[in-house]
Structure 1
Amino acid sequence: MADGRAVGARVAGGRAGAGRPGIGATVGRAAHAAVAALGELVGGLGTALLALLLLIWTAVTAVTSLLGVGLLMVPAVLRALHALAARERHRLGRRGPEVIGPDPAPTRLRPALVDPTTRRELRWLARHASLGLLLGLGGALLPVLAVRDVAFPLYWRLLPENATSTSLGIGVAQTWPDALAAGLLGLGWTAIILGLTPGMARLQARPGRTLLAAGPDTDLSLRVAELTATRAAALDAHATELRRIERSLHDGTQNRIVTVTVLLGAARRMVARDPAGAEELLERAQSAAEQALSELRSVARGILPPVLADRGLAGALTGLAASCPVPCRIDVQAPERCAASVEATAYFVVAEALTNIAKHSGARQATVTVRSRGGRLRLDITDDGRGGAGDTSRAARSGGEAGGSGLTGIRDRIAAHDGTLELASPPGGPTTLKVELPCGL
């Protein structure tokens, strides 16, 4: 719990000072953006290597099809193309706005020749296997070159004679000025990383976002059906929330206020003949009124916690960690604010998850990690408990999680914002709940 307070205070303090950006804050933002861009470039390198192999296979199939032999490989090549395109859509969706794909493309030669989706995927394949591969290699090599040259003054004396000392192939330095010059070259690589890698990542992702997205002539009936289901989930979640508020007011606050009314009426009738008894009834009425006020505040906090407006998401989650029976560490890096409804959903998801951890997991500690990037808010909630909370890949499709653990309500809240939920909870643990929400700005 102490970790939660410390980390949350640090994040909240950083946000409070965001209005006075300095050189350190600017460099920090640039470094954060560069690290994220390097991650995107390296991730794109993986699909680019697969694209290169698939492009070679496609070329071999096209050439051998003239002899009739390659026609047997066409269905396999088309299936591989569609699978790789789907993988790239998923990768781009995790790094930024979702890339909505079209309906399943054909895997037979004749329909594929006239299918616009297949032609767009082939154009993406050629671009990603060439430009995307080069940009991915740059993203993988630039940090290595920077570290090698920056650290060169520390190890240049250990190099054998005539060895290559720097990334540009300059021979081994013989003096300290030469070694320091190589170190300055490393600083140059670092400047390139900070300045160019975000643009390189956008350039690498552009063909996928333009060519793999559903075209204007694509049938989006599946997406419409998905949005219809999302709207139904939002309405169900709203109705459930209204029933919860009504039940809390009816069973709690209303009964307290009725008690106060009865006690005040009895005290008014007793004040003349039994002042001491009337005073006792007034004390009981005051106590009941205070309890009713406390319950009313609790209901109001359940609708939209004021702490979100006062302290932001980081401060609100720190408060949850402080009140959780299981020691909880909070790590929030969300420089950009999301819509109030999205932050409220994130708050309630974490609150429900920590409640489940405290009641059912038997965990010794929990960790909540929040990241905001590319218009998406990502939550990772992990505990070291006994696991077995259910398989989301199966439960989310069937519409119910095992054990009545509250995950159904979490899933409905997330679906209302068109978000995603993944749960990994093998027997014996650990349990990891991953949630992704659009910021809705």
Structure 2
Amino acid sequence: MTTLPSRARRAIDALEHLVGGLATAVLALAMLVWTLAVAILGLLVVGLSLVPGTLRAMRMVADRERARLSRWGPEIVSPGPTPTGLRAALTDRACRRELAWLAVHATFGFAIGLLGLTLPLYAVQDVTYPLWWQLTPAGSSGPSVAFWPVNTWADALAVGLLGLAWVAVVVVAVPQLARLPGWIGRSLLGPGPGADLSLRVEQLTATRAAALDAHAAELRRIERSLHDGTQNRLVAVNVLLGAARRQLARDPAAAAEMLARAQDAAEQALAELRTVARGILPPVLADRGLTEAVERLAGDCAVRCRVDVEASGRCAASVEATAYFVVAEALTNVSKHSGATSATVTIRRAGDRLHLRIDDDGHGGADEGRGSGLVGIRRRVEAYDGRMSLTSPVGGPTTMRVELPCGS
């Protein structure tokens, strides 16, 4: 059941929407008048030179409305380059739809915006009228639609009751009025049929390329770890065992020392193999889940780190591995580059989305263009159709937000 405070908040949000729509409607009205003037001049051939500038100005006004509507819902993408000639504009579907929106928004949208702004003014005037009615000339009518003469306190209170009725109208009607310009704008300024599919294909192509790059980078990392670490250790073991075998008959004590060194090298190789294996998929992640794995990462972090997890159930193994990689890389950056004294890892699951947030109190200034593993994090996240955002002003703090799909 909707409560009165929530209705009031909805009405205030809708009023803000209507005021913003009224502002773009004023721009649309001015642009419509100019477009009609250019069309009339075009019939006399004089206005043809004004067509390219008019088309660019119309696109700017339409993009202003797209940006406004995008703040209140799904993003509306601009259709691309503006036609430069009259014939191209007449054959361009997006341009024709923008012209239709211009006509509708400059008239109907303007009227809706004025009405939405007038209703709250009527409500405020009438509700407060009993406080200042004695300052008005004797026998004058109320401030809105109260046409009866106000001579007594009873008349003034009647106007105040009318104001309460206006408040009810505002709470109920303004949210409905706010939807109309938005629905019209999205219908006329939104992408044409097939555009969403094209954008989705383009996005999936990019994320597939990112996934392949991330996979190749991971393989190179594993190869370097095995080549530079484990392989060298095993070569040393082989050399030491060969030397010990040759010394075994002549100098048993030297052979025993070499065997001890070979054993140490073998143990180091095993430790490095375990490290590489944990980097691919940590056993604690597979056995005990993301929460305990992240807590272990926080415990090993060089910076004091707090973990706050509210995520019921398990996600897919690949998603948990990606989340683990994000937290591990982010905490590594915090330890090496941020100069922070504390960090916080927050994990929440909302429906079919897993939300990660890593905060630190360091000096900020993190930039993907300067490396630090941020590009790798973004590629890994986008490969799973996730989203990543980074806020790191100079002076700090730094906040990384990651959202991953994890199934219902």
Sort the TM-score into its range (normalised by shorter chain). 0.5 to 0.7
Say whether 1:178 aligns with 2:156.
Answer: yes
Whole-angstrom distance in 2 between the partners of 1:437 and 1:135: 40
SS in 1 for 2:71: helix
Q: Cα gap change, 1:176/1:103 in structure 2, threshold over 3 Å: closer, same or farther? A: same
- Match of residue 162, structure 1, among 136, 155, 158: 136
**TM-score, scaled relative to structure 1:** 0.55
**TM-score, scaled relative to structure 2:** 0.58
Is this contact kept in 1: 2:362–2:396, CA < 8 A?
yes
- Match of residue 30, structure 2, among 53, 56, 63: 53
Q: Cα gap change, 1:378/1:387 in structure 2, threshold over 3 Å: closer, same or farther? A: same
User: What residue is the counterpart of 2:207 in the other structure?
Assistant: 230
1:125 positional shift: 1.2
1:327 positional shift: 11
Q: Cα gap change, 1:149/1:243 in structure 2, threshold over 3 Å: closer, same or farther? A: farther
User: What residue is the counterpart of 2:21 in the other structure?
Assistant: 44
Q: Cα gap change, 1:423/1:440 in structure 2, threshold over 3 Å: closer, same or farther? A: same
Is this contact kept in 2: 1:165–1:173, CA < 8 A?
no
Per mean C-alpha deviation after superposition, the further-off stretch among 124-133 and 101-110 is 101-110
Is this contact kept in 1: 2:211–2:383, CA < 8 A?
yes
Q: Cα gap change, 1:236/1:61 in structure 2, threshold over 3 Å: closer, same or farther? A: same
- Match of residue 82, structure 1, among 54, 59, 82: 59
Q: Cα gap change, 1:200/1:226 in structure 2, threshold over 3 Å: closer, same or farther? A: same
Matches within 5 A, 1:194-273: 195-216=172-193, 224-233=201-210
Task: Indicate the percent of aligned positions where both proteins have the same amino acid.
Answer: 50
Whole-angstrom distance in 2 between the partners of 1:112 and 1:355: 53
Is this contact kept in 1: 2:290–2:324, CA < 8 A?
no
User: What residue is the counterpart of 1:259 in the other structure?
Assistant: none
User: What residue is the counterpart of 1:411 in the other structure?
Assistant: 378
User: What residue is the counterpart of 1:285 in the other structure?
Assistant: none
Is this contact kept in 2: 1:166–1:182, CA < 8 A?
no
Q: Cα gap change, 1:408/1:58 in structure 2, threshold over 3 Å: closer, same or farther? A: same
Q: Cα gap change, 1:74/1:240 in structure 2, threshold over 3 Å: closer, same or farther? A: same
Gap runs ≥5 in structure 2: 230-274, 309-314
Is this contact kept in 2: 1:85–1:121, CA < 8 A?
yes
1:71 positional shift: 1.5
CA-atom RMSD, angstroms?
6.0
Is this contact kept in 1: 2:22–2:109, CA < 8 A?
yes
User: What residue is the counterpart of 1:104 in the other structure?
Assistant: 81
Matches within 5 A, 1:300-319: none
Whole-angstrom distance in 1 between the partners of 2:76 and 2:378: 22
Say whether 1:63 aligns with 2:40.
Answer: yes
SS in 2 for 1:95: coil
Whole-angstrom distance in 2 between the partners of 1:345 and 1:187: 55
SS in 2 for 1:389: coil
Q: Cα gap change, 1:437/1:219 in structure 2, threshold over 3 Å: closer, same or farther? A: closer
Whole-angstrom distance in 2 between the partners of 1:211 and 1:116: 10
1:126 positional shift: 1.0
Equivalenced residues, count: 349
The Cα offsets for residues 158-190 of structure 1, whole Å up to 9 and x where unpaired, read as 566217896516477842773375156245424
Larger of the two Rg values belongs to structure:
2
1:209 positional shift: 1.8
User: What residue is the counterpart of 1:34 in the other structure?
Assistant: 11
Residue identity opposite 1:182 in structure 2: G
The Cα offsets for residues 72-93 of structure 1, whole Å up to 9 and x where unpaired, read as 2110111122233333333333
Q: Cα gap change, 1:406/1:64 in structure 2, threshold over 3 Å: closer, same or farther? A: same
Gap runs ≥5 in structure 1: 1-22, 252-291, 309-315, 331-338, 391-400
The Cα offsets for residues 196-230 of structure 1, whole Å up to 9 and x where unpaired, read as 33332321112222222333377975663343113
1:434 positional shift: 8.0
1:368 positional shift: 11
Per mean C-alpha deviation after superposition, the further-off stretch among 68-77 and 407-416 is 407-416
Per mean C-alpha deviation after superposition, the further-off stretch among 170-179 and 130-139 is 170-179
1:301 positional shift: 8.2
Say whether 1:117 aligns with 2:94.
Answer: yes
Is this contact kept in 2: 1:148–1:186, CA < 8 A?
no
- Match of residue 167, structure 2, among 172, 189, 192: 189
1:35 positional shift: 3.9
1:364 positional shift: 9.7
